[in-house]
Structure 1
Amino acid sequence: MNIGIDLGGTKIQVGIEKEGKIIHKTKALLKEKDDLHSTLNQVKQFIEPLTHHKVDGIGIGVPSVVDVEKGIVYNVTNIPSWKKVGLKAILEEEFNLPVFVNNDVNCFTIGEHKFGMGKEYSCLVGMSIGTGLGSGIIIGNKLYAGTNCGAGEIGLLPYKDQNIEYYASGNFFSAFYQTTALDAYNQAEKGNQEALSQWKDFGYHFGAAVQAVMYTYDPQAIVIGGSVANAYPYFEATMKESFKDFIYPESIKKLKIHQTKNEDIALLGAAALVDLSLEHVKGIM
């Protein structure tokens, strides 16, 4: 059993992975994000009760670029005080357990590959749509994170007058419709025609993001997660309609696109960092 932690820009979730499920799960909003000491203490307080169980290690996903080897996180999204934090060293000293740190969307993708919709694929991309757009990459059944843990930032590629993320994330609704993705989703659920039209527009832009993934990684499958993924039925059709311009039609026909089904998948992926990292260490000894 391993402890998994999903640290977002606004909240923290923790739990223990046992036989592919999360037990002893707790979550809360992050407090006093301008104070490094305060936020670190809050993280420690959430972890501490779980260390009383028989666990082998701690895995944590963070929305930032990560020095995976040293466990240092840089410029964490929406946590102003986390500019450069040696998270691995801090938590290992506190709990005397091995700690492994990675990007949060990488953890989501690992979770899907190991426990979720991506189990049957050796080449997989996880796309997390929230306020922004992030991706995790599995190639040959292994996470590909790049030299600086920055691979998969499809959302930052240039697109139209901005970048892909500007149009293919929750930001789209505030930028163009002065609303939120959540409100657009709630209105679409009620059959509101204006909201349904907004999601159709969104689908075309998200289709461009999927095409960027295909041109870059050509995966067998994509798993879509994040808060905006709940609205997938409302933008799936126009997303697929946008594929008519894809230069390799046979490749796009073979692509499988799944919507995540497990709300704990990022926690499961974070917990899996422990076993994956320890297996790697054994492999090079």
Structure 2
Amino acid sequence: MDAGNESSNADFLLRGLFPGLKHSNFLVSTILLIYGVALTANSMLILLIWVDSQLHTPVYFLHGQLSVMVLSVIASTVPEMATDFFPGKRNISWVACGTQIFFFLTLGIAEWIFITLMAYDWYWYVAICNPLRYALIMSPRVCLQMAATSWAGGALTSLEHTAHAMHFPTCGSREISHFLCEVMAILKLACEDLSAYEKAVVVTSIVVLLIPLSFILASYALIFLSVHRVSSTEGRNKALATCSSHLTVVSLYFGPAMLVYMRPTSYHRPVLDQVLFMLGPILTPMMNPLIYSLRDKEVVVL
């Protein structure tokens, strides 16, 4: 018990990004470039939506909220990774590690919930093509409720899992095989039976990943069926292009997350997990404004 308590108060050591890689400086510089592009593109989009009254619509309110979320996700990972990498100081305190896990999970889960709710928005806007009913359903109040539900759901779920993950005592090495404090990497250091908690993680993943993904796919299936009834070839092509680009973002958000959180701890490999984190929290924020809004005529004209 004493050893467990002592280990739970000590610092962790982050191994960093792909330890042993020969060209790690180039890789980190590339990631910082991606971070700069994502920061600039999403910030510009948020600014445009805020200052131009033509974009004060439910669709662009949702786009703006999603940009805030993806900016927060990449800002919670890349600067810390670069700060640890270049000076070579990779130790992180127990409190700082738990804080990083909490904010990362909060932002990630909020994104998943919000993208699911956005599928509901696009179902009415694209598939039903009924502007009057769309304005009635997607009122400003409903949009605010969607955003608040996403943030609250992410924070509450994250708080529960952060508390559980940081509660387990660690034995032996305090070295985390990752470039950030992440739940599954922390659990590999635990010296207790994790079978019950792993089941809880799977249940949570089903609730925040699998069920929402099923809902999104069902919504887009209805969209594709409705598109075939559109008489205009131009309207059909536009709807299909919009849906396909959105599904690309959905796959980048949900695919890596499902591979990370729906596998037992014993099946996790540090290199694969880091690659998955490259695709999700780092690469997707750069693509988000390009796929969701910068292709839209209203934004390009501005």
TM bracket, shorter-chain basis:
0.3 to 0.5
Say which one has the larger Rg: 2
User: As a proportion of its length, which structure holds more strand?
Assistant: 1
User: As a proportion of its length, which structure holds more helix?
Assistant: 2
Q: Which has the higher contact order (CA 8 A, sep 6+)?
A: 2
